[in-house]
Amino acid sequence: MVFMAAYHFEVQRLTDLPSIVGDPSNAMTLRWAGLADMTAYLPVAPVVIYLHHRLGDRAPDLIGLLTFCGLAYVLLGSLGGTLFATVGPPLVEDGSEAARVTFAAFANMVTIGLWGTLELIGFGVWLLGMGWLFRKEHAQFGALGLLAGIGSLLSAARTGITGRSVGDLPGPLDWVVVGLLGLALPWLAWLGLRIYFAREPARASVDAPQAG
Identity of residue 115 = W
Cβ neighbours of residue 138 closer than 8 Å, sequence gap 6 or more: 194
Q: Rounded to an integer, what distance in angstroms lies between the CA atom of residue 158 and that of residue 179?
A: 13
Q: Which helix (H) or strand (E) holds 76?
A: helix 63-94
Cα–Cα distance for residue pair 76/41, rounded to 1 Å: 9
pLDDT digits (tens, 9 = 90+) for 158-188: 999 999 888 888 899 999 999 999 999 999 9
Q: Are 6 and 20 in contact (CB under 8 A)?
A: yes
- Residue 116: pLDDT above 50? yes
Rounded to whole angstroms, how far apart are CA atoms 32 and 46?
A: 23
pLDDT category of residue 11 using cuts at 50, 70 and 90 = low
For the stretch 30-40, pLDDT in tens is 899 999 999 99
Number of helical H runs and strand E runs in the chain = 9, 0
Q: For residues 106 and 206, give the distance between their C-alpha atoms in angstroms, rounded to a whole number.
A: 51
- Quick one: pLDDT band at residue 200, thresholds 50, 70, 90? low
The span from the CA of 141 to the CA of 161, in Å, is 30
- What is the overall mean pLDDT for the chain? 88
Q: How far apart are CA 8 and CA 27, in angstroms?
A: 12
The type of residue at 19 is S
Q: What is the mean pLDDT of residues 66-81?
A: 96
Indicate yes or no: pTM above 0.95. Answer: no
> 25-68: per-residue pLDDT in tens?
888 988 999 999 999 999 999 999 999 999 989 888 899 999 99
CA–CA dist 15, 167 (Å, integer): 8
Task: Choose among 128, 122, 118, 115: nearest CA to 68.
Answer: 122
Task: Please tell me the total number of residues recorded for the chain in this structure.
Answer: 212
